[in-house]
Amino acid sequence: MSTATTDEENMLKKDEKINTLSFVRLKIPRLIPIELIESVKGRTFTTEEFYVYQENQVRNPQNFLYVLIDKENKIHGYMWAELNSLDGSLFVNTFSIEKEYWGKGTAIPKAIKLIEHLVLKSKAKRVFWVTTNEKFFIKHNFKRSKNVLMEYNLN
């Protein structure tokens, strides 16, 4: 058996593995494993700050906190998005998933399905997703926004 065939089979197994997970809305933020929050690159908040913020947003219909669970309800990932009610933009703040389910971006189509659901539910006019992995998103029909994210240096 060639290495290419083995790599293809491994990718199929990873694709199948991600498809065993389901997104469900979460009302108890502290159920999200700390490791999933801490693994977010560029995060500007502590895990505790995240939990407190999410606990304060539980009743906010424009705050969307979803987890990826398996058949035993074990959490393997989460997505957090918010709707800006003024302009109808949906902002995906965080998508974190255990490495074994990420593959080479194979988790993105699963996330896109949730985004499509949220767009329909919220009637969002556009979606923004800030990422450090642009190449994964371009492969899945994301494009560079005309808007550019700028950060002011306070130091």
Q: Residue 122 and residue 144: Cα distance in Å, rounded?
A: 23
Mean pLDDT to the nearest integer, 68-86? 96
Kindly report, residue by residue over 8-51, the tens digit of the pLDDT: 445 445 557 888 999 999 999 999 999 999 999 888 999 999 99
Tokens of residue 42, six digits: 């560029």
At the topology level of CATH, where does 3-138 sit? Aminopeptidase (3.40.630)
**pTM of the full structure:** 0.83
**Better-scored residue on pLDDT, 41 or 73:** 73
Q: What Cα–Cα distance (Å) separates residue 46 from each residue in 3, 8, 38, 43, 51?
A: 42, 38, 8, 8, 9
Query: Which region holds residue 53: left if phi is over 0, alpha if psi is between -120 and 50, else beta?
Result: alpha
Question: Residue 67, Cβ neighbours under 10 Å: how many?
Answer: 25
Kindly report, residue by residue over 126-153, the tens digit of the pLDDT: 999 887 777 777 877 888 877 777 766 7
Q: Residue 84 and residue 21: Cα distance in Å, rounded?
A: 28
Instruction: Check: CB of residue 52 under 8 Å from CB of residue 75.
Output: no
Q: Residue 89 and residue 134: Cα distance in Å, rounded?
A: 20
